[in-house]
Amino acid sequence: MNHNSSIGCSVAECKFHCKDDNYCTLDNIQVVKHSQKADTIECTDCGSFKIN
């Protein structure tokens, strides 16, 4: 499965996840924050996630 070597990802539930090794198959992703001010790692996420 072709993947983007610049985007490592361990979210196996995502339809864009490379099952062979832990990478994303998209050319680019949108990283988002879901609090007004991001001050912990939990405040950021992959905005390109789609359920498989």
3 scored as a contact of ligand SF4 (CB under 6 A): no
Q: How many residues bind ligand SF4 (CB under 6 A)?
A: 12
CB of 37 to ligand SF4, least distance (A): 22
In SS3 terms, the chain reads as CCCEEEEECCCCCECCEECCCCEECCCCCCEEECCCCCCCHHHEEECCCCEC
Residues 16 and 3 sit within 8 Å (Cβ to Cβ)? no
Among 6, 19, 21, 26, binds ligand SF4 (CB under 6 A): 26
| Residues of the shown chain interacting with ligand SF4 in the complex, contacts defined by CB under 6 A | 7, 9, 11, 14, 16-17, 24, 26, 29, 46, 48-49
